[in-house]
Amino acid sequence: MDAQPVRFLRRQPRISLLAIAGDKDYNGAEENNQVESKMSERRGSAMDTYQAIMDGLIWSLLWAAVISMTIWKAPQQLVHDYPKEIQELVILPPVNKKIYRWIIVPALVILVGYLFFSVIATYGVDEVAFWVPMLHIFIMCIVWNSVDLFIMDWLIFCTIQPKFMILPGTEGHPAYKDYYFHFRGFLIGCAYSFIGGVVCGGLGYAILKLFFW
């Protein structure tokens, strides 16, 4: 009989518990790093430009309603927004305190409050970078500033000239068609939009950080 070769079972090397634990720690750290990397990427790219524009349009409608009501009930509050040639011809009585208390103040509270509502409703779930609420509010302000120039000022105020916007004793004055006057106001509004974005956006980020994330 041919001699059969004796086969030996080779023992597999044992992996120490420390090595296994170390491998788990390494994998866990790697997963944590990946999660943190994804979260940081998400924070940097979570700007919702579409929502900022849409909320800016809604905010513009609110502004248009407030301005129209103010010109109708208390034009004294907005005389400074008229060209100087018109301001010099108008003498209006002081603002009625009841109108100021029950119309103008609540309207301003709603307008400012909507900025923070927009930021919280858009970014209240997932954390974003600090600059995101600032840019969000800046876009909203720029949208309103553009609507104010092209629709409220150039189209309605300068071109259509509805009667409720014409101050007493200034009917037909050529300054109502001063388009450049409103364009200067637009440029100033751009600067205020930047300041408003930084200030209100910073406050919005603080509110999100303290109460929502």
Domains of the chain, residue spans: 48-211
Residue 91: C-alpha distances to residues 82, 94, 168 (Å): 13, 10, 9
Q: What is the pLDDT of residues 32-74, one digit of tens each?
A: 555 455 444 444 458 999 999 999 999 999 999 999 888 888 8
pLDDT of residue 22: 52
Q: How far apart are CA 61 and CA 94, in angstroms?
A: 27
Q: How far apart are CA 29 and CA 34, in angstroms?
A: 9
Low-confidence spans in the chain with pLDDT less than 70: 1-45
